[in-house]
Amino acid sequence: MAAVLQQPDLTQRVPARSAPARAVFVQFDAHYGGSPISGAMVVRALVAAGWQVDAVFASPGPMTQEYEKMGCYVHILPHGQWLAGGSAWRRVKRWVKEWAGAARFIRLLRRKKPHLVYVNNLTGFAAVAAARVLRIPTVWHLRELFDDVGGEMHPPLGGKRLARWIVNRLPSRIVAISESVAENVCGPGPGSRAEIVANAVTAAFFDDCRTPDQCRAALGLPMGGRLIGVPGTLRPVKGHDLFVEAAARIQASVPDCRFAITGDGRPAYRQGLEARIDQLGLRDRTHFAGVLTDMPAFYRACDLVCVPSRSESFGRTAIEAMAVGTPVVATAVGGLRETIEHETTGLLVPYGDADALAASLVRLLNDRALAGRLAAAARAKAQACYREEVYQERICRIVEEVVGPSGARP
């Protein structure tokens, strides 16, 4: 993935170290997605600052190769099931497995002797617990939401109160990707320890200058007519079913409109979407693009981007489209309410309202001047807030505060 492999120069912004400090970076998912991509940005910053990084994944996947290319030693260590939900008995078994994972992390950390453990998912309890036992400074980077706000994390045996106690007590420092995540996971009010660091995009999204037709041809997307893109993985939380209902309404108003959906997921979920698309007569208008390695081209190929999520901890696809300069219509949920300012940098609609979603998309398709103004303002915000170097500078500052400039263990 071009956006993942780009290596910014941080040597002038991050203090160099005379001897390599060692970090263990824990990333649950090894498939292409928002969390591993953001994690790669963190690792690039650490490597550029002179750190030696071991990356730990819960299972193999294509992103492990990207981390290896950055100079990481990659380990596969099963963990991350403590928030998977299920019956009380299943939660008991998952707690047992998670403590077994913590024991494996303790053995790994004793062998590697890191100065820092950086855990990049809420699911990484086992790594945080192991670091706490060994008194190793730890940053816990929170990226997920609980199911009470539509997220995919379920409270463990002991409830959400226990989960909040764990998150607030175990790590040295807490980072959250949005206020929505900080409030939902750490708890509301000024007592939260979380520092908000918004996600970012690589320079590739700002620098792409290909024409829409060039990008459509390169990706095999429909030529001619207008195109609405829905980026992301194929999961129920991403709201594809809502978009499909809206697409049927758009077809009646904008006959030349086509729809492109990226990503991959469970076959049963995609089959259900395709069945509904067939029922609505949208088969010849809808293109499933699969997993794309050139996402800047996808955004440039589209006239509009729709993010119809049921729940969203941040909304990486929204800021990617903003950086490219493609107008965005999204649901007013979670972190999307923080990244998009309604009527200024995009349009927001209530989740579940297919009529409102369709109306907003049709409005921008028909009002090119408004679409252009929103896109320009959104791109300016992305340049100010969501550039990779801004993100990395903030992460490196937090790491230096936790560990110290010399990288010496306390």
Residues 241-285 have pLDDT tens digits of 999 999 999 999 999 999 999 998 889 999 999 999 999 999 999
pTM of the model: 0.90
Give the chain's end-to-end CA distance (angstroms, integer): 38
Q: What is the mean pLDDT of residues 217-233?
A: 94
Q: How far is CA 44 from CA 55, 71, 225, 245, 385, in A?
A: 12, 9, 40, 41, 19
Phi, psi of 116 (to 5 degrees): -150, 140
Burial bucket for residue 53 (CB in 10 Å: 0-12, 13-18, 19+) = buried
Is the distance from CB of 231 to CB of 287 less than 8 angstroms? Answer: no
Gyration radius of the chain's alpha carbons: 21
Cα(265)–Cα(393) distance, integer angstroms = 33
Residues 337-365 have pLDDT tens digits of 999 999 999 999 999 999 999 999 999 99
Q: How far is CA 209 from CA 137, 212, 258, in A?
A: 43, 9, 23
Cα(377)–Cα(353) distance, integer angstroms = 26
Cα(395)–Cα(343) distance, integer angstroms = 31
Tokens of 68: 């290896």
| Displacement of CA 122 from its chain's centroid (Å) | 13
Return the pLDDT at 404: 79
Residues 237-249 have pLDDT tens digits of 999 999 999 999 9
Give the residue among 269, 267, 210 at the shortest CA–CA distance from 238: 269
Cα(236)–Cα(39) distance, integer angstroms = 24
189 pLDDT above the threshold of 90: no
Burial bucket for residue 182 (CB in 10 Å: 0-12, 13-18, 19+) = buried
13 pLDDT above the threshold of 60: no
Which range among 4-18, 94-108, 187-201, 375-389 shows the weakest confidence by mean pLDDT? 4-18
Give the residue among 196, 236, 238 at the shortest CA–CA distance from 333: 238
Element (H, E) at 27: strand 22-27
Q: Which positions ≥6 away from 302 have C-beta within 8 Å?
A: 212, 227, 228, 229, 260, 321, 326
Is the distance from CB of 208 to CB of 297 less than 8 angstroms? Answer: yes
31 pLDDT above the threshold of 60: yes
At 314, is the secondary structure helix, strand, or coil? Answer: coil
